[in-house]
Amino acid sequence: MPTDPFVATELEDRPRQEPNLAPGVQLPPAHGWKADRPGDLVAGQPTGDLLGRPGPNVGYAVMLAGRLRDAVQLVPHEHLADALAVIAELAMKRASSYGRAPIMPDVEVAATLLGYKGDVDDAFAAWRAEVVHGADHEYSVRRAFVDAVPDAVVRLPPKVPALVADFRADLQQSLAP
């Protein structure tokens, strides 16, 4: 097999930094780095209400949620755009909790937790329609709803319906006026 002419065959032939320095000059030791540029977050990523959860390519969840457009089951006076916005936002939270971009199971878990797959009682569905009203256009409505969902619930495997009823009751209680 031929060898690339630009690849050193012997260890002694590999380029090194030391021989390129003047005689008697040594490389200085590495020094520590601190976030001191404008825009650097010195204390780390802030957390709290209405701040969301950063993650890689989280906006992809909006496109994935759009694929559920025909499968989302709504109650009267509930808007599809509001439902898809909340589903996408919850999928973003789930994906970023794992440190990755959103995938379709994240969107399906979000839709299942919120009862948009059809397995929901009428009282929760009516409450959900009222709470997510305007979520498509109002960031604060969408964020408040998604912030009320605990991380432990968001990270549930897609096929765990046993805790969904308890979660929905807790969600209604936490967002009660």
Most confident of 17-31, 101-115, 148-162: 101-115
Beta carbons of 69 and 80 less than 8 angstroms apart? yes
d(CA 104, CA 63): 10
Two tokens at 31?
A: 């020094």
pLDDT at 154: 84
Burial label for 58, CB within 10 Å (0-12, 13-18, 19+), is buried
Closest residue by Cα to residue 65 from 77, 80, 79: 80
Task: Indicate the SS3 state at residue 90.
Answer: helix
pLDDT at 51: 80
Beta carbons of 118 and 108 less than 8 angstroms apart? no
d(CA 119, CA 164): 10
Which DSSP category does 27 fall into? P
Q: Which of 38-47, 91-100, 120-129 has the lowest mean pLDDT?
A: 38-47
Beta carbons of 86 and 132 less than 8 angstroms apart? yes
The pTM of the full predicted model, rounded to 2 decimals, is 0.72
Q: Is the pLDDT of residue 15 over 60?
A: no
Q: Is the pLDDT of residue 63 over 90?
A: yes
Higher-confidence residue of 47 and 92: namely: 92
The model's pLDDT over 30-54, given as tens digits with 9 standing for 90+, comes to 666 677 778 777 777 777 777 888 8
Q: Is the pLDDT of residue 170 over 70?
A: yes
pLDDT at 177: 62
Confidence grade of residue 17 (pLDDT, cut at 50, 70, 90): low
d(CA 23, CA 39): 41
Q: What is the rounded average pLDDT for all residues in the chain?
A: 82
User: Which residues, at least 6 apart from 108, have a Cβ–Cβ distance to it below 8 Å?
Assistant: 68, 117, 158
